[in-house]
Structure 1
Amino acid sequence: MSKYSKQREKPMSNSYFQQGLDHLEAERLQEAEEDFLRYLDECPEDAMGHNKLGVVYGKFHDFTRAKACFMNAIELDEHCTHAWNNLGNIARQDGELEQAIRYYQRAVEIDPLNPIPAKNLKTVQRQATWSPSRIKGFFRRNKT
């Protein structure tokens, strides 16, 4: 965690959180969801708990619930780099490249040493440069 990130993480000794992580890593998503929900019953103000539950929903392809979890994480901790990055992932997947750029930029501002949002930002910036709508606009502007 960088000096810029002051995420309110609970000790990893919480068994529900750790079990959720283990289940998530093993792709046992139903169990992971149950564990993170139990964890959040005990620790509703933990941004990382909301973020991890959002990751589970993202793997279920339930992007509405995933996005809500990431937004909850940010409401609890505006410096939750992971949630900003994950929001960027959803926006990028939805083709909302300008929004994805804004989310990734926020993640990079919070934690400039984290290579994941920085890489995602560069990738989506390249995609936005050559998106179909920009290419069409370029040709419209340069018609002779």
Structure 2
Amino acid sequence: MDDLINKAEHHMERGEYQQARKIYNEILLIDPNNAIAYNKLGVISVREENLEQAKIYFIKALELNPKLSSASSNLGNIYFEKGNFEKAKDCYEKAIAIDPDNPVPYNNLAVIYKKSKDIDKFVKFYKKSIELSTHKLNDTKIHFKKKEAKKLPYMAILGFLIVMLILYLLISFKR
């Protein structure tokens, strides 16, 4: 299942929505209660400017998994686009309650407060969004550095083996 999700995600990153949609629908044939697949189908629908269909997918995702923060935030975006800022705000607040370390709903709330000219709350939520984004970026850098550090011994061994193979081949050709 993870392989299918990764494959679909790869298509989404490349803007290949039809291929991604096909895979997410395949996932739903295997697991009709897969909230992530419904959420991603909603994202595809948004990108294709079909907000009504996206809303249906996000609501379904939340019915299946009320703790899926991204689906709540995405549903909030639909309400925001339709000008229903109160419902959008409720969705963003729910997303924050589910995953307080996700910077996206904080940023979305900041936008709502900016539109309503509540500058204090705008600044508060915008700062929180920046803080969390910076923290995630630093965590990603640390994870990447650790991952790269783990590769170094293997790369050294591989390099050594390649050098030895080349030397062996050179010596073999001289004979």
Aligned ranges for residues 54-93 of structure 1 at < 5 Å?
Answer: 54-93=42-81
Specify the structure having the higher radius of gyration (Cα).
2
Q: How many residues matched?
A: 118
Q: Which of 33, 39, 48 is matched with 2:36 structurally?
A: 48
1:12 match: 2
Q: Is the 8 A contact 1:98 1:128 kept in 2?
A: no
How does the TM-score come out when normalised to structure 1? 0.77
Question: What SS does the corresponding residue of 1:112 show, helix, strand or coil?
Answer: coil
Distance 1:36 1:111 in 2: 24
2:100 match: 112
How does the TM-score come out when normalised to structure 2? 0.64
Q: Which has the higher contact order (CA 8 A, sep 6+)?
A: 1
Identical amino acids, percent of aligned pairs: 31
Cα RMSD after superposing both structures? 1.3
C-alpha deviations, 1:57-95, integer Å up to 9, x for none? 111111111111100110011111000000111111111
Q: Give the drift of 1:128.
A: 3.0
Q: Give the drift of 1:12.
A: 1.8
Which ranges of structure 1 fall in alignment gaps of 5 or more residues? 1-10, 131-144
More helix by percentage: 2
Distance 1:45 1:128 in 2: 38
